[in-house]
Amino acid sequence: MRPRVILVAPNMENPGGQAVQARSLADELAKEGYEVALLAVNPRFPLGLRWLRRVPLARTLINQALYLPSLWRLRHADVVHVFSASYWSFLLAPVPALSAGRWLGKRVVLNYHSGEAEDHLARWRRWLRPFLRLADEIVVPSEYLQKTFGRHGYRTRVLRNVVDTSRFRFRERSPLRPRLICTRSLEANYRVGDVLEAFAVVCRSRPEATLTLAGTGAEERRLRALAAPFGDRVQFVGRVEPAAMPALLDGADLFVNASVVDNQPVSILEAFAAGLAVVSTAAGGIPSLIRHDETGLLVPLRRPDLLAAAILDLLEHPARAADLARRARQEVDAYSWRAVRRGWEAVYVGSGA
């Protein structure tokens, strides 16, 4: 009999990487016959209190008042699968779930996703150790994170993020047009401002270029001000539901990423699946995802000038862009449910890989 699994993760109210992965995993597990449920670390606020989401301290207090009692639902699980980021987010969401799961005698799996793991594990070393020991197993989506945890004395298992490639239409871009897209959150670590700076350089040679920015975040007001001189050549489309992402990517030709902290961004995998050539910074685990000049182009961090140069090089050499996109599409098969299904089955029952 398959174990009953509860996934503790962000809900799809603001569909970031963890929320998308949790939803995808839940859907695939259900198809396999698992009894699976999602427990949101960011429960919906009552209708009259939703405005408090905009007030930081009140938001945290109300969120915890709703989230912590909901952990009693974990008594119905055989496996508590906890998605995790880093720093205070780790303390507020995963730690209570890990503790509750252990107290209830469940098998507890920590699924750590943050590209900030090195700094998190180093700075919070003494605080983290007792909490990480609550997990029966730590699962990470990349060899980059596995090596990071290994340097701090923790054993992990690598199970890659899941991308449903059937949702995306792979097509070659011919002609290759300067239609750029970035689908990262508008937060500081993703350096979307660098994307805009690179776009400004691209526009000097290709004035017909356009840029689509999909996402929301704390930097949105600043980024809109930076983009104002470009008029309608820069489009902010806001939060994009997963179901709408394939059509959005299908309308673009080049994917651009300028993050400085990262792990294994699903946004890049989705770009691969849709046939987009990718230009990205070499942040965190991205070099293990993109092989430079084979499945994409990598540039140093905080160098929008080099980001622009790489974009222009692909626009001037469309055959090269097409070759990169074809090879990248072949890589995505390693991120299919078929490729990771047995690994998750082994994690849930506690057997070897």
**241 and 109 in a common domain:** no
- Provide the 3-class DSSP secondary structure of residue 241: coil
**188 and 325 in a common domain:** yes
pLDDT tens-place values along the chain, 353 residues long? 899 999 999 997 766 789 989 999 999 999 999 999 999 999 998 888 888 777 888 889 999 999 999 999 999 999 999 999 999 999 999 999 999 999 999 999 999 999 999 999 999 998 899 999 999 999 999 999 999 999 999 999 999 999 988 899 999 999 999 999 999 999 999 999 999 999 999 999 999 999 999 999 999 999 999 999 999 999 999 999 889 999 999 999 999 999 999 999 999 999 999 999 999 999 999 998 999 999 999 999 999 999 999 999 999 999 999 999 999 999 998 999 999 999 999 999 998 75
- Give the span between the Cα atoms of 59 and 68, in whole angstroms: 14
Count of other CB atoms within 10 angstroms of residue 308: 24
Which domain range does residue 180 map to?
166-333
C-alpha 236, offset from chain centre: 19
**220 and 276 in a common domain:** yes
Report the CATH number that the domain containing residue 116 is assigned in CATH.
3.40.50.2000
**183 and 307 in a common domain:** yes
Instruction: Give the phi and the psi of residue 63 in degrees, each rounded to 5.
Output: -60, -45
**278 and 151 in a common domain:** no
Per the structure, the count of domains in the chain is: 2
- Which pLDDT score, from 0 to 100, does residue 56 have? 80
Residue with tokens 């290759």: 176
Q: How many helices (H) and strands (E) does the chain have?
A: 15, 12
**268 and 218 in a common domain:** yes
Name residue 214's amino acid.
A
**145 and 27 in a common domain:** yes
- Give the span between the Cα atoms of 84 and 28, in whole angstroms: 20
Cis preceding linkage at 69, omega within 30:
no
**145 and 71 in a common domain:** yes
- Give the span between the Cα atoms of 237 and 245, in whole angstroms: 11
**117 and 250 in a common domain:** no
Cis preceding linkage at 175, omega within 30:
yes
Burial of 50 (0-12, 13-18, 19+ CB in 10 A): exposed
- Which pLDDT score, from 0 to 100, does residue 113 have? 93
**10 and 156 in a common domain:** yes
**192 and 258 in a common domain:** yes
The region that residue 307 occupies, defined by phi over 0 for left and psi between -120 and 50 for alpha, beta otherwise, is alpha
Q: Is the pTM of this model over 0.85?
A: yes
- Which pLDDT score, from 0 to 100, does residue 17 have? 82
**198 and 290 in a common domain:** yes
Instruction: Give the phi and the psi of residue 44 in degrees, each rounded to 5.
Output: -65, 135
Radius of gyration of the chain (CA): 21
